Chain A
């Protein structure tokens, strides 16, 4: 049995809404796996099922071979969870938060003391271990949540959008901790940041509307877009007018704007000429062909519209 995680035809319904539909997945041990998808795609539902917080409507979910419904307690012994929101206990110090976690996992005090010292060192909070989390920055709180998830040496670590809301330095620090763990456990990650998945993960699944759309390494997913024609287009003036115009072309499959620069994906090479004919060239400062990114793949698969 090499799978750390196994989902077999898992469906979750809330009344008439189907959050996850017949979703199947095997994640090998020792993998850093990313589940990507827009808001409401079903990522968090899957994490909640795998961490025993939700029961699937049908199907089977296994963690290290243990059924999450029949053997939830054993599953929870093997997993560490970093939720989307920091759910630290603000009335306990950083160290006390970790001690409570160790107690809830039934660890012996002598073992937990050593382990907590190691983790505080790892996340750079040794000097602040007797302070309350409310006095920490967002990055420090996040690091403490990661440390809490690791106290009992889990075999599978779930990270639900671990770097949302962090500044770039803190994001990099969290990435470093995750990378340092990769040899000792399986890591299951959801994120909105494509660069995060690209930099960290051995395998990526993009899902939407409760179903898996693609599965592979970042490089393989980007290869899917090799046929796609991604261009960067920069205007000298009237960027707003061009944004409306570009958004209206049926052959523009994705469009992202940064200031007066647009990154757009055309449905085919043959559409470049009609595009140039339509927008003219008097306001164009720069036009170049780009390598597709993971974000291009994501937008291509899940569409451009904003999700609630």
Chain B
């Protein structure tokens, strides 16, 4: 079962291995710039945030942001490219694998790339800065990364399935994905929002992701409500991505 999904995932990993160095360079550059510019450039202006130095506060969010952005990018662009440009999705569809194999293979590829790139950024931040983590906290943090990457990989798959023009995918990234990430606690705590809107922001799955992952990594405590929101969101996103892909392909 799902041998087809594994074959597609395997193909994506082979392609990733070929361009590993340039992929890592590209993926590390942006969060590292944020880290250096905000963490060190604003160091004199920002006091401790929630009891930790700003560079420490920001690091988990940047790693998570890298993972989920990479998951979204890989899934969206890969699905779009294979569907509209190479038309390899059609080549897959005349083999004995099912549409579930195709969509699951692509979602897992996006998720893997996200997790892998998140680890790469974590390693670079660890090596180049004074940021250190407690090893015992990593398992809880990874649970958040896994669920977050899964959600964003599914969202990317939906975009790559539904959107025919590449510029529209770029617009979705600019108008939906980036605000969702930036407003959900990467650079500042959700407690900074006015009380009137804080409840709404807290209900967004990305807040559960960024707030929950930071607390898991820095304090070692798992917020069950946040994990439940993410697990439910991942399940809904997965079911939605599979159904949308199945329906679109049947057209």
Contacts and interface: CB of A to CB of B under 8 A. Distances in A.
A105 B10 CA distance: 15
B96 interface: yes
A79 B96 CA distance: 10
Nearest to B85: A90
A110 interface: no
Contacts of B97: 104
A100 B7 contact: yes
Contacts of A90: 86
A91 B90 contact: no
Contacts, number: 59
Contacts of B95: 76, 101, 104-105
A106 B3 contact: yes
Interface string B25-48: 000000000000000000000000
Contacts of B15: 91-92
B199 to A, nearest CB: 46
A244 interface: no
B96 A53 contact: no
Contacts of B94: 51-53, 76, 79, 81
Nearest to B89: A87
Given A76-B95, A101-B95, A92 B90 contact: no
A85 interface: yes
Given A100-B7, A104-B4, A104-B7, A89 B96 contact: no
A103 interface: yes
- Give the interface SS of chain B, mostly helix, strand, loop or mixed: helix
Interface residues of A, number: 26
Interface of A: 51-53, 55, 73-74, 76-77, 79, 81, 83, 85, 87-92, 96, 100-101, 103-106, 148
Given A76-B95, A104-B7, A104-B96, 15 more contacts: A51-B94, A53-B93, A73-B98, A76-B94, A76-B96, A81-B94, A85-B87, A88-B86, A88-B91, A90-B86, A96-B11, A101-B91, A101-B95, A103-B3, A104-B4
Nearest to A103: B7
Contacts of B250: 55
Contacts of B93: 52-53
A40 B53 CA distance: 67
B182 interface: no
B14 interface: yes
B7 A53 contact: no
Nearest to B11: A100
Identify the 5 closest CB pairs spanning chains A and B, nearest first.
Answer: A87-B87, A104-B95, A103-B7, A81-B94, A91-B15
B221 interface: no
A88 B95 CA distance: 14
30 contacts: A52-B93, A52-B94, A53-B90, A53-B93, A55-B250, A73-B96, A76-B95, A76-B96, A81-B91, A83-B91, A87-B87, A87-B91, A88-B88, A89-B11, A89-B88, A90-B86, A92-B11, A92-B14, A96-B11, A96-B14, A100-B11, A101-B91, A103-B3, A104-B4, A104-B7, A104-B92, A104-B96, A106-B3, A106-B96, A148-B91
